[in-house]
Amino acid sequence: MSLDELFLFGEEKMEKAITQLHREFGSIRSGRANPMILDKVLVEYYGAPTPLRQMSQVTVQDGTTLVITPYDKTTLKEIEKAIIKAEIGITPNSDGICIRLPFPPLTEERRKEIVKDVKKIGEDAKVAVRNIRRDMTDDLKKLEKSENLPEDIVKDNQDKIQKLTDKYTGIIDKAVAEKEKEVMTV
């Protein structure tokens, strides 16, 4: 492994940590209807668990209601069961053609709980980035031994690794602050 590869792989892993952070933030209920909350819902379809969003059209109506229109109307009951089973905190209303998920406004207390969850997810992402930093530093030490790198080059690269870590930690902090603001906005 070269120094370039070390940084390429390290940055790629940090990008994945950010992607995961945004994916988890997408499944957090913030009072507004968000189709991403259904990403974890799997429906039994011909004996196989199938993601809900692959077998139906999901649209946002008036900002507070999700409307789920299955491509196959015979799956309506199974979709309804899967939503209840997924425990997303919203009771589905079916009219025989589509399912509506009305998002009730969040109470102040519930908003504060969600903010705690957001902060925890952010902290988990930071831990992931710091673990990647540790791995990169370990790989740098291995490179130092195998290629007899001079101390000043090793020191410069350790600084680069730290700057990369700081950059991604900053991105996480910004994402957490934005999500917090979104959750607390009534």
pTM for the full model?
Answer: 0.73
| Residue where one domain finishes, among candidates 82, 102, 122 | 102
Q: Do 98 and 111 share a structural domain?
A: no
Q: Do 80 and 134 share a structural domain?
A: no
| Residue where one domain finishes, among candidates 53, 76, 102 | 102
pLDDT of residue 125: 96
Q: Do 44 and 91 share a structural domain?
A: yes
Range of the domain at 112: 3-27+107-184
pLDDT of residue 40: 82
User: What is the number of alpha carbons within 13 Å of residue 74 lying toward its C-beta?
Assistant: 3
Structural domain count of the chain: 2
pLDDT of residue 7: 92
Q: Using the CB atoms, write b or e for 110-134: b if 16+ within 10 Å.
A: ebeebbeebeebbeebbebbeebbe
Q: Do 117 and 97 share a structural domain?
A: no
**Minimal CA–CA distance to 117: which of 50, 51, 182?**
182
Q: Do 43 and 20 share a structural domain?
A: no
Q: Do 148 and 122 share a structural domain?
A: yes
pLDDT of residue 186: 66
| Contact (CB, 8 A) for 63 and 33 | yes
Q: How many residues does the chain have?
A: 186
Q: Do 166 and 137 share a structural domain?
A: yes
Q: Do 117 and 153 share a structural domain?
A: yes
Residues of the chain with pLDDT under 50: none
Please report, for the domain that includes residue 112, its CATH number: 1.10.132.20
| Residue where one domain finishes, among candidates 62, 85, 102 | 102
